[in-house]
Amino acid sequence: MKLIQDLLRLAPEGLVQDVRIGLHWTAVSMLVDSALRCGLASSLHGTHHHDGADVPQAGELHKLRGLELAALADSPDQPTLCSVGLAALNALLPLPALDTPDLNAEEMIARLGAGKRVALVGHFPFVEHLRPRVGELHILELNPRPGDLPAEAAPQVLGDAQVAAITGMTILNHTFEQLMTLVAPGANVLLLGPSTPLHPRLFDDGIGVLSGSIVTDVEAVMRLVSQGANFRQIHRRGVRLVNLVRPDLAPLFQ
């Protein structure tokens, strides 16, 4: 995946401290330039219970170099390792300068999508609150709920949308680059969720807003992840929601 390879070239080396693969989230802590950092990614799970291994290096991952661990993000046939790799990469990437208020993803989409056709890739918890705040809202989901559209509808829905909001999990499941080819020229695109890499390199792919997170209490988050916490629980204890906005869109959020 070109995006992952590019981000690996832009990331510094780090010293792995710990790896936690939780029920909902995967977290990796690193020492990067003598600072303790932590990256998150959604936990993808395989199906190997007896005759295989979702994590062949289980028990040894913390011994890898930071960039070696992050390179696991480009393991399309091993979903759990992808989660570990992306969490490691998010720990390594330099913290960006953030000039936009810490608005949540719903607010960011609402401001860009007022009176417009919005396509949301992934069923987020804020869907029903967001719907009356935009012109039209169409939800694409691999496992559709009532009112959602199946993934097969992506070419038409994304091609018609003026605003597209895409879950960062598409980097994990390696559908991000394909989805971006379906987005209409000129549409404003947001990449959402704690899996989202906060690096301006993604602006080159047409992303206008990176709506992600920064871990502020590494010890608490690592403990919560390993005990099966969902994101609401993690957010309350040690995560800051942040937005990295392409310069031409920044005035909309001041």
Three-state secondary structure call for residue 142: coil
Q: How far is CA 39 from the centre of its chain?
A: 10
Q: Where are the domains of the chain?
A: 2-92, 105-215+240-253
Q: Which amino acid is at 194?
A: P
pTM for this predicted structure: 0.94
Work out the average pLDDT over 27-39.
97
pLDDT, mean of residues 156-172: 96
> What is the pLDDT at residue 1?
85
9-13, 32-36, 47-51, 134-138: range with lowest mean pLDDT? 47-51
The least confident of 12-16, 123-127, 129-133, 219-223 is 123-127
Percentage of the chain surpassing pLDDT 90?
A: 82
pLDDT surpassing 80 at residue 31 = yes
Q: What does DSSP assign to residue 95? A: P
In sequence order, which residues have a C-beta less than 8 Å from that of residue 65 and are 6 or more positions away? Answer: 13, 14, 15, 16
Q: Domain 105-215+240-253, what fold?
A: Rossmann fold (3.40.50)
Beta strands across the sheet bearing 35-42: 15-21, 25-32, 35-42
Work out the pLDDT band at 51, boundaries 50, 70, 90.
Answer: low
Taking a C-beta distance cutoff of 8 angstroms, is the pair 43, 83 a contact? yes
Please give the mean pLDDT across all residues of the chain.
94
